[in-house]
Chains A and B, each alone.
Chain A
Amino acid sequence: MNVIETHGLGKSYGSTKALDRCTLAIPEGHVAALVGPNGAGKTTLLNIAVGLAAPTTGAVTVLGGCPTGSLAALDQIAFVAQDTPLYKNFSAADLLHVTRNLNRRFDQGYAEQRLGELGIPLRQKAGKMSGGQQAQLALTLALARRPKLLILDEPMAMLDPLARHDFMATVMTAVADDGVSVVLSSHVLAELERVADYLVLLTRGSVQMAGAVDDLLERHRVLTGPASESDVYAKQWNVVHASRAASQAHLLVRCDGTSDPVPPGWEAHSLTLEELTLSYLREPGAGALPGPARARDTEQSEVTI
């Protein structure tokens, strides 16, 4: 089952295209990170997935075929929006009550216990809490609904490093305990590295790279060798990004399935998710998408140096 599936999704605000022919399938059981530069369409995609916005063109379904915004989708998807908007004059207890009333399921015991662990008094107003507490409260409200899919839009943008850590710890506990699928958008690449096992990279409103993190890392190598030979090899390999020092060249290479032998004089290194993501962000034309069906698209948008 795919938790979010889109085909040729487009969304225009006036003449601005926030999403453009965005085709994507995020399978269940992952913590999927949605990354991309500002204005790439991350928030728009998430707003469409939770039913707040309607696409201009294309199709989108959630949780294996439910229309977005349908009762079934609303029932099983919990959403924490950017800047975690909560009613500022409501106490934590009031917000629990409201969320309980507005949903079919609500685990009051879990929510109260969680807030207790976080040291958030039930009588405290949301408006008087710190940014980290508000984010934790919004997350607790979402998780107490016992969703199948948790969608978080820039949950860590306003948080300090410690609060980020605590926030993601709560998310990962829910993933481990309930098997909830998570889709989160974020700018904080270093933080994602610890938690995300699926990556979707959006650029200019469409998907540039998507896949399981292990898979993506396995299929990418940094090859370091003499700069004089780099042009020759660059033609043979799928080079995503190249950088050259005086005598050495570093080529980020995608090796699709086959393990090409490293030529003599060259060294291969694996790379981190952050390095991989940054390389793709620097090369908006490069693409890496899973599945043979999309191989042709990939070739077209590839950059060869």
Chain B
Amino acid sequence: MTALTTLAVSTRSDGGADLRPLPWRRMAWVTWRQHRIALIGALAFIGAPALCLLIVGLQLHHAYAVAIACHPASSAACGAAVANFNRIGNFLSKGIPLQLVPPLIGAFVGASVLAREFEAGTFRFAWTQGLGRWRWTLAKLVGLGFVVAAASGALSVLAVWYYQPYFTSNNQFLVKFNPLDPGLFDLRGIGFAAWTLAAFAIGVLAGALIRRVVPTIVATLAVYAGLAFATGAWLRLHYLTPLVTKGLNVAGLVEIVSQWGSRGGRVVFTGPPTFPIYQQYCPAAAGLGKGGGASSGNPLQCLVQHGFTFWTSYQPASRFWPFQWIEGGWLLALSVLLTAVTVWVVRRRAV
């Protein structure tokens, strides 16, 4: 028995079972050579909005400087300067075009990693080389993920600079944005890079499962859109317990989570006051009086006089950075998880 065991062990070590894996750096050139077109495409894709932000941003910052330096504020010249600032870069004002960058980069670069290998059959070449297939996969994912995240991170640095005038002014006539606005939140800070990384990780895993490039891209965009929508519409508003305030107007720029009204300690309505409430208590103030004339007085004020209390739960703009860390954190965790699943699928999945 002992002899047999010894024999088996020595056979194995002759065969090199104790081989050290090849160094990871060997994959750097391979990854670059294989994905350089996708990467250059992605950089060009980032470069176009970056150039746009730079050109429009210079005008915007100039107009901003003119507008806030203008005295007296009530003069016609100052009015023109304010209007000029408010007009520039409208198409970028809510950040919508830039929101397309993470999913498109993620889908195109991510889908090309595994789906193309399967589609062309080249995985049979790549995975039978001495490096081994899970090392090959992991090295590519880490390298490419880092590059796409860094590239979109660079774009978000530019976005921070671009949108700065919208968040700093005290001039009431200038357009202002809420830092927690769903379209703008993840353009500034670490969210943008994290979303790009997540889109990439989704694309790679989808490619490992679907194994065809075009369906992988479609699936990646669909999953990303669902995730981004759910986050913006619901999840982000609950990163931290919302603050609750009583009163008709919430001070400053906040992201409202929900509103409701109560009377005598009991919730009467959620959202804005309903039509029956107005009809019952304040028909005149709400313009529902006889003859349907114009409203007389503030209808909400009227309801307050009838013993109603308005509640608003909201997230203050001061939570921007905590929210950035929370969002960046879970997206990074998601990306790591998706990458781990991808490597597991590659190791395990039989051809």
Tell me the A residues contacting B by CB distance below 8 Å: 47, 50-54, 63-66, 69-79, 81, 83, 85-90, 94, 97-99, 101-105, 138, 145
Residue contact B124 to A102, C-beta cutoff 8 Å: no
Counting CB contacts under 8 A, is B130 at the interface?
A: yes
Known interface pairs A65-B12, A72-B19, A103-B130. Does A81 touch B33 (Cβ–Cβ under 8 Å)? no
Please determine whether B15 and A72 come into contact, CB atoms closer than 8 angstroms. Answer: yes
Interface residues of B in 5-50 (CB under 8 A from A): 8, 11-12, 14-17, 19, 21-22, 26-27, 29-30, 33-34, 37
Known contacts A53-B351, A101-B27, A85 near B19 by CB under 8 Å: no
Main secondary structure of the interface of B (DSSP, over half): helix
B75 in the interface, Cβ–Cβ < 8 Å? no
- What are the residues of chain B within 8 A of A52 when measuring CB–CB? 123-124, 127-128, 350-351
Bound complex: CA A108 to CA B228 (Å): 49
A101 vs chain B, min Cβ distance (A): 4
Greatest chain B CB density within 10 A among A88, A97, A102 is at A102
Query: Contacts A66-B15, A98-B30, A98-B33: A104 and B124 contacting too (C-beta < 8 A)?
Result: no
> Within the complex, what minimum Cβ distance (angstroms) separates A73 from chain B?
8
Question: A76 contacts B8, CB within 8 Å?
Answer: no
Query: Is A101 a contact of B30 with CB atoms below 8 Å?
Result: yes
A81→B123 CA distance, assembly (Å):
10
Q: Do residues A53 and B122 form an inter-chain contact, with CB atoms below 8 A?
A: no
Interchain residue pairs A-B with the least CB separation, the first 10: A102-B129, A81-B124, A85-B121, A103-B130, A72-B16, A79-B128, A101-B26, A53-B350, A53-B351, A102-B131
Q: Is B227's CB within 8 Å of the partner chain A?
A: no
Shortest Cβ gap from B38 to chain A (Å) = 12
Are A66 and B12 interface neighbours, CB within 8 A?
yes
Contact status B124-A85, CB under 8 Å: yes
Measured between beta carbons, the chain A residues less than 8 angstroms from B125 are 81, 85-87, 138
Report if B132 contacts A (CB, 8 A): yes
Q: Take A74-B129, A74-B132, A85-B125 as given contacts and tell me if A104 and B17 are in contact as well, using a CB distance cutoff of 8 Å.
A: no
**DSSP class of A's interface residues: helix, strand, loop or mixed?**
loop
Q: Which residues of B contact A73 (CB under 8 A)?
A: 15
Inter-chain contact A71/B351, CB cutoff 8 Å: no
6 contacts between A and B (CB under 8 A): A54-B350, A65-B8, A66-B16, A71-B132, A76-B15, A79-B128
Q: Which of B112-144 contact A (CB under 8 A)?
A: 120-133, 136
Binary contact readout B72-83 vs A (1 if CB under 8 angstroms, 0 otherwise): 000000000000
Of all chain B residues, the one with the shortest Cβ separation from A50 is B128
A159 to chain B, nearest CB (A): 17
The reply to whether B16 and A76 form a contact with Cβ atoms under 8 Å apart is: yes
| A residues in contact with B34, CB < 8 Å | 87, 98
Chain B interface residues toward A at CB < 8 A: 8, 11-12, 14-17, 19, 21-22, 26-27, 29-30, 33-34, 37, 120-133, 136, 348, 350-351
The answer to whether B129 touches A99 (Cβ under 8 A) is yes
Residues of B within 8 A of A72 (CB): 12, 15-17, 19
B33 CB contacts on chain A under 8 angstroms: 90, 94, 97-98
* A86 in contact with B127 (CB, 8 Å): no
Smallest beta-carbon distance A14→chain B, Å:
12
B121, B127, B129, most chain A CB atoms within 10 A: B129
**In this complex, what residue of B is CB-closest to A86?**
B125
The interface residues of chain A lying within 8 Å CB-to-CB of B19 are 71-72, 75, 104
**Chain B residues with CB under 8 A of A88:** 120
User: Separation in Å of the A93 CB from the closest CB of chain B?
Assistant: 11
Q: How far is the CA of A86 from the CA of B117 in the complex (A)?
A: 10
With both beta carbons as reference points, the residue of chain B lying nearest to A75 in the complex is identified as B130
B132 touches A64 (CB 8 A): no
Known: A47-B351, A64-B15. 16 other contacts (CB 8 A): A51-B127, A52-B127, A53-B350, A54-B348, A65-B8, A72-B12, A72-B16, A72-B17, A74-B129, A81-B121, A85-B122, A97-B29, A98-B34, A101-B26, A102-B22, A102-B136
Contacting residues, chain B, for A101 (C-beta < 8 A): 26-27, 29-30
Collect the chain B residues with CB atoms within 8 Å of residue A70's CB: 17
Determine how close the nearest CB of chain B comes to the CB of A162; give it in whole angstroms.
Answer: 25
State the CA gap A103–B243 with chains docked (Å): 59
Closest to A74 in B: B130
Complex Cα spacing A145 to B351, Å: 24
**In the complex the two chains form, what is the Cα distance from A142 to B133 in whole Å?**
17
A103 to chain B, nearest CB (A): 4
State in angstroms the CA–CA spacing of A73 and B350 once bound together.
17
Instruction: Find the B residue at minimum CB distance from A90.
Output: B33
Q: Say whether B121 contacts A71, CB under 8 Å.
A: no
The residue on B at minimum CB distance from A101 is B26
Chain B residue numbers with a CB within 8 Å of A53 are 350-351
A16 to chain B, nearest CB (A): 13
Question: With a CB–CB cut-off of 8 A, which chain B residues contact A86?
Answer: 122, 125
B123 to chain A, nearest CB (A): 8
Docked complex Cα distance between A75 and B132 (Å): 9
Query: Once the chains are docked, how many angstroms separate the CA of A145 from the CA of B348?
Result: 26
Docked pose: A273 CA to B27 CA in angstroms: 45
What A residues does B350 contact at CB under 8 A?
52-54
Smallest Cβ-Cβ distance to B16: which chain A residue: A72
A85 to B15 CA separation, bound complex (whole angstroms): 28
Cβ contact within 8 Å between B17 and A74: no
Cβ-closest chain B residue relative to A95: B125
CB contacts (< 8 Å) of A64 on chain B: these are 11, 14-15
| Contact, CB under 8 Å: B136 / A65 | no
